[in-house]
Structure 1
Amino acid sequence: MSVPSQSSPARPFGFPTYHPPRRLTDDTRHLCAAPYVDQDFAHQVIAETVEDEHRAVAPSFGFDLDPVIRHCFRARRLLLARHLTIAALVVAGLCLAPLATMSFLSLGYTILGVRWSRTVTPQRLRRLGMYLAGGLIALCCLPNALLLPLTLLADTAPASTPSPRSPLTPSPQEPSPLAGLVEDLLRFAVESDLLGYAVQAQAAIGRIAPFALTAACLGLLWSFRVKAYRVISEELALDAPPSRPDLPNERIVRRVNTVAAAQYGNITVQQSEPFLGSGSRLKYGWSFALILRPADPGSDAPIAADVGPRIYQRLKDSVTAMNDPALPYGARLPNAHQMEYLVADGVRTLTDPLLEPVNCVPYSTASDEVVEAVKRQPQSGLRYYERVLVTGVGNDVQDADGRLLVRAQELGITVSAFVHVAVEGGMLYTEFVSAVLPPIQDRYQLGDTLRPERVATRALLDTLRDFPADVAASGWRAGRLAWRMALTHWRMYRSPRTERDLRIRDYGARRSVRELAADPLIVKHLQELDAAKYAKLIERAAGDAVLGFLSENGYDTAEFAQRIAQVQNFHTTVFGGQVAVASTGGIFQQHQS
């Protein structure tokens, strides 16, 4: 992952410097393979990151957006060529063998209907009914609408009078040379039985065309799928060098370069979700507000101005201590990372200092001076969080002599914890939020399971499985994909105009590319346990950091210690039909009916 460069003191905001990675991470490879498996993923990624040139992007951790966007454009071009080719063969089949083609298309539409009925929602069903009703009404009214102008013209047109025959116009009795030539050709065709040969040729073509067109469609679908699978299994293999496909034009190249630089900033510009890209919230969250009073009742020492920054530093030290080399090897937490996290509202004016003045793109990096100022002034327009992530690979299993027994396994999930500290009105406010990002869907991880020598066989099996449906939907998919690609360029063209027309607009990121590819839920029980474990570990580190700071600086810790003890030692766990409530005093179990 690229390391963002800090802004210079003269410039409080800026953009990081992007360096293409030497090796693609596992998440990057899986996200690059996703558009070849799911074309909707490619549309969503391009719509979020490219089409609006003035919109911010969600932060990226553990993956790189640049190759993902490039593979999305490449996958769309490959899919468009496939759909157009198959649609052309379907049109040829309707001309040469209409009955057989219509029968095959009916089978494909039936399969598509069955698949669609499994995923349809009531909202989509009502919308489809409205579209069908409107289409039937339009078809009923269209003939009358077309005939009405002709009827009006016929009623208002004056009676025609015979025009005098021009001397240059041949008389009706005189045959024209063209008519004589046609008559001679027809006489020759009848005498040589060419019409019979034509009928026989048409019948032969009608018998051969269905098989030839079916074989052509099957071969083309198989070849396109082999191409996609070779990209996934070879170009995106574990040890393969980074692949960066070409982009359609220079404008898209400039936008992708901006996105690639902005994805590693420490500012998240959004409107509704401050922890965008972190996944779903966990139940391990709390917020406390307590009065900062001295531990000695007779002391009247004022509250220091740097209480917030010092607590953040204490939290950093606590998390760093989890991977202290002095700890035993198995007791360390090597996959814990820390980063600065600033949250900004996405609704901005054109003259906002958080916007780059030339291109009106939100800045993604704040300088160290800005970060320290926000820590001291928590009521500002920027909100600071100390973010702690646990992801990646843990420790290897070693014996007492340090020999490797079992290699560490990828965690698969990303656990994030956000800590916010604010001193306002003589009180200390502490907030803790935890979230977990589920793993990437299994279908996007095809490159890790598909061996290169099995590409042709796997492509053939998948082609045979989806063959009728792919042929039947080729025309619709080609038109839809061409429309989406044209819409991308039109929206990029409209983006500067929209920017000039509106003085205030939403510049915030809407969706995270990593969240688009994630599973809806965590399906592995061990991953659920890991999410709970690491969230509780970071929660304990955050509570101890605040408590240690208060104790060392002479503040009363009784109220905070009581509240944090209630949070850490009292929780509810549901196992099947039982509710287990555990605390330091004992365990209470209640059976549900």
Structure 2
Amino acid sequence: MATDTLSVPAGRAAGAATSNATRLLCAGTYLDPLYRATVIRELLTHRFRVVAPSYGYDAVPVLAHALAARRLHRARLAVLGAGLVLTFVLMGAGVLNGWGGFLAVAWLLWVTSYLRRIVTLQTLLTRLRRGTGAPGDTGGFTGAYPRHPDLTADLVAKIDREQASDGTLVRYSGYKPFVGAGEPVKRWSTAELLIGAPLSPFESPQRTSGAPAAGQEPQRKEVVPFTVEEITSHVAGRMAATLRDEARQAERIEGLAVERSTFTTSVTTRPGLWEPTPGEREGRWEDVYDSGRAYLCVRVGSWNQELVTTAFVGFDLKGNTLHTEFYSYVLAPIKSDFHLVDRLPAALDGRLLLRVAWDTLRAAPGAVLGPALRRARALLPWQPGANRIRVLLPLDTSEFHLGRYADTVLDRGALTSIRELATSDDFHVFFQETDTIKYTQIVERQLLHVVRGFLHEHKVDLAEHEARQTNILSNNFGSNNTFGSHSNFGPGNQDNRSTAPQNGNQGA
């Protein structure tokens, strides 16, 4: 593998590129061949698809290491193939007999596999090890990544642009708009009438004393009009100030990000067009449903960005009614297999080299037969290759099957993220689970408080808001509004989950 590296992108990507989540995902490309192939397919082979937002990590180094790991595998196959050809030539020329040819082939199989293992171990022990942070320690993961011909400047710019989550446009595929955010935890919505707050006896123009007579509607203040943009901007500013900027150091949530993004589809009907046009690369995409929705995204990245809790908050004004939506998602920790990189020895020594040599010899039969069987299975006509692009067409139930004459429907939206593909089914530590609940409740409580203050400033009657607030807070993680697929979000949550539709799109 080449030793030259590219510099880490500046700005937003620089922080995400050095996170522990990015490091573990890069290590996973060497440890899991299926994950490596999936990363390459999602980010390189299917480059017509938009990259999902990257919460707490950078997809560019992960793709770079996936390509480096694949190149290492292909280099081993190339050397092995060349050695086998040379061996057969020597056998044909009579230089080697049958027994000598057999020993040469066996040695080639062992030595190429052994060298590949050593290079992989060396990469994990040096580039992808966790830095100690001690003075003078310049080793460990820095966010830099290997060069590769397929990782062009245009591709890097595309991934950087599309994976950004700082108020940009998120184009999703299928049913779920909050792609990349992980598994759902909780949701609720409210609709509040915007009626004026009642006037006190001292504010009444008639200066009446006492409460109004029975059945008499109290006089009310005139509501100060506001827009969705105004309430969203106010909530975003107050949430960032209360939880991070103006909070005391001990109470500050350092991993907090408050952003606003618009979620929309990106389905096109252009036959034979796999690459976006220049106009589409600049942001002029088709949205056949006109389904764009703007949400405030309050994200908390904890455990060095390995645990990411995100709340999506949406506001809408219709018919003198304020509608508020709240959706909480969590990116659970990365699967434990990828943490193997943290349990490896500090360096390669003679004893470890001998152990690797012996283990390579023991694994030789499986190493020979496994790839051959997988390659043969992939070549079967009823099982397409892993890198072949497939497009799901809408169900055609017309009488004459006229759908065969229609343009190809291509959904270019983000279907999943490489981070979601590496998510563990369970939390590794009990306190990761409790932090998910904690940050969801903190964001939820602060949101309700900030909205209440905004409505009070605009002279809205708060009686309905306070009643709904009490109901929401009293049913935290134990009501029908809670949903998700994890079974470890609290015992009171297991029997009351709603059956939210799941994303059934298995697009290309």
Do both share a fold (TM > 0.5)? Answer: yes
Counterpart-to-counterpart distance in 1, 2:379 and 2:149 = 14
User: How far apart are residue 418 of structure 1 and its match?
Assistant: 0.8
Q: Which residue, out of 357, 363, 367, partners 1:470? A: 367
Q: Which structure 2 residues correspond to residues 380-399 of structure 1 after superposition, within 5 A?
A: 381-393=291-303
Q: Which residue of 2 aligns with 1:281?
A: 184
Q: Secondary structure at the match of 2:122?
A: helix
Give 1:417 shift. 0.7
Which position in structure 1 is the counterpart of 2:263?
Answer: 343
How far did 1:83 drift?
4.1
Q: From 441, 444, 452, give the equivalent of 2:335.
A: 441
Deviation of 1:30 (Å): 1.8
Pairwise CA distance, 1:580: 6.3
Cα deviation per residue 1:245-301 (whole Å; 9 max; x = unaligned)? 333358x5533332223221521101332111111000x321011211111243473
Larger radius of gyration: 1
Amino acid across the alignment from 2:312: F
The corresponding residue for 2:50 is 56
* Counterparts of residues 318-337 of structure 1 (less than 5 Å): 318-324=239-245, 327=248, 329-337=249-257
Within 1, Cα distance between the matches of 2:415 and 2:102? 48
Q: Distance in 1 between matches of 2:446 and 2:290?
A: 27
Aligned-partner SS, 1:430:
strand
Q: 1:536 to 1:84 in 2, by over 3 A?
A: same
Look up the SS of the partner of 1:387 in the other structure: strand
Partner of 2:147: 246
Shift of 1:345: 1.4
Aligned with 2:436: secondary structure? helix
The answer as to whether partners of 1:441 and 1:517 remain within 8 angstroms in 2 is yes
Contact 2:333–2:428, Cα closer than 8 Å, also in 1 = no
Q: Does 1:47 align with 2:52?
A: no
Three-state SS of the structure 2 residue aligned to 1:289 is strand
Deviates more, 1:253-262 or 1:449-458: 449-458
Q: Distance in 2 between matches of 1:96 and 1:479?
A: 28
Give 1:444 shift: 2.2
The answer (yes or no) to whether the contact 1:267–1:341 under 8 Å persists in 2 is yes
Q: 1:579 to 1:277 in 2, by over 3 A?
A: closer
Is the 8 Å Cα contact of residues 315 and 541 (structure 1) preserved in structure 2? no
Secondary structure at 1:473 match in 2: helix
Residues 287, 23 of structure 1: alpha-carbon distance in 2 compared, 3 angstrom cutoff: closer
Q: Which amino acid aligns with 1:244?
A: Y
Q: Which is worse superposed, 477-486 or 236-245?
A: 477-486
1:423 is matched with 317
Q: Does 1:271 align with 2:170?
A: no
SS at 2:157 equivalent: helix
Equivalent of residue 430 in structure 2, options 509, 525, 532: 525
Q: Deviations over 1:567-591 (max 9, x none)?
A: 2123466999x9769xxxxxxxxxx
Whole-angstrom distance in 1 between the partners of 2:376 and 2:81 = 10
Question: Which residue number corresponds to residue 130 of structure 1?
Answer: none
Gap runs ≥5 in structure 1: 5-17, 98-197, 366-378, 394-409, 493-500, 582-593
Instruction: Evaluate the alpha carbon distance shift between residue 21 and residue 579 of structure 1 in structure 2; reply closer, same or farther with a 3 A threshold.
Output: closer
Relative to 1, partners in 2 of residues 1:211 and 1:71: Cα closer, same or farther, differing over 3 Å? same
Instruction: Please state whether the residue corresponding to 1:285 is helix, strand or coil.
Output: strand
Counterpart of 2:230 in structure 1 is: 309
Contact 2:171 2:263 in 1 (8 A): yes
Partner residue in 2 for 1:358: 278
CA contact (8 A) 2:19 2:305 kept: no
Query: How far apart are the structure 2 equivalents of 1:565 and 1:59?
Result: 34
SS at match of 1:431: strand
2:159 pairs with one of 259, 264, 267: 259
1:290 aligns with 2:199: no
How far residue 503 of structure 1 moved from its aligned partner, in angstroms, is 7.8
Between the aligned partners of 1:440 and 1:31, the Cα distance in structure 2 is: 8
Paired residue for 1:70, among 60, 64, 69?
A: 64
Question: Offset of 1:415 from its aligned partner?
Answer: 0.7
Over 3 Å counting, the alpha-carbon distance change for 1:384 and 1:461 in structure 2 is farther
1:31 matched to which residue of 2? Answer: 25
In structure 2, C-alpha distance between the alignment counterparts of 1:64 and 1:503, rounded to whole Å: 32
8 A contact 2:20–2:305 mirrored in 1? no
Deviations 1:387-424 (A, max 9, x none): 1111135xxxxxxxxxxxxxxxx463111111111111
Taking the aligned partners of 2:492 and 2:423, their CA distance within structure 1 comes to: 31
Distance across 1 between alignment mates of 2:282 and 2:464:
41
Tell whether the 8 Å contact from 2:315 to 2:324 is kept in structure 1 after alignment. Answer: yes
Matches within 5 A, 1:460-499: 460=357, 463-464=360-361, 466-477=363-374
CA distance in 1, matches of 2:160, 2:359: 34
**AA matched with 1:285:** R
SS of the aligned residue for 2:366 comes to helix
1:565 maps to what in 2? Answer: 470
Which protein is richer in helix relative to its size? Answer: 1
Q: 1:7-40 CA deviation, whole Å, 9 max, x = no partner? A: xxxxxxxxxxx87679632222222222222222
* Inter-CA distance 315–289: structure 2 relative to 1 (3 Å threshold): same
Report the residue type matching 1:40 in the other structure: L
Q: CA RMSD in A?
A: 4.2
Structure 2 distance, partners of 1:479, 1:70, is: 28
Cα pair 2:55 2:308 within 8 Å, conserved? no
Matched residues in 1 for 2:219 and 2:9: separation? Answer: 52
CA contact (8 A) 2:232 2:296 kept: no
Contact 1:42–1:72, Cα closer than 8 Å, also in 2? yes
Q: Distance in 1 between matches of 2:458 and 2:313?
A: 20
Q: CA deviation at 1:67?
A: 2.0
Cα distance, 1:261–1:227 mapped onto 2, change above 3 Å: same
Q: 1:386 to 1:571 in 2, by over 3 A?
A: closer
Gaps (5+ residues) in structure 2?
1-7, 132-139, 199-217, 391-405, 480-486, 494-508
Three-state SS of the structure 1 residue aligned to 2:147 is coil
Aligned AA for 2:159? Answer: V
In 2, distance between residues paired with 1:513 and 1:414?
14
| Higher RCO (CA 8 Å, separation ≥ 6 residues) | 1
Partner of 2:397: none
Alignment equivalent of 2:119, drawn from 213, 216, 227: 227
Q: Distance in 2 between matches of 1:380 and 1:478?
A: 44
Percent identity at matched positions?
A: 25
C-alpha distance in 1 between matches for 2:465 and 2:221:
20
Secondary structure of the residue aligned to 1:414 is strand
For 1:571 and 1:65, locate their aligned partners in 2 and report how far apart those are by CA, in whole Å: 34
- 1:66 deviates by 1.7
Asked if the contact 1:267/1:364 (under 8 Å) is kept, the reply is no
Measure how far apart 1:94 and its partner are: 11
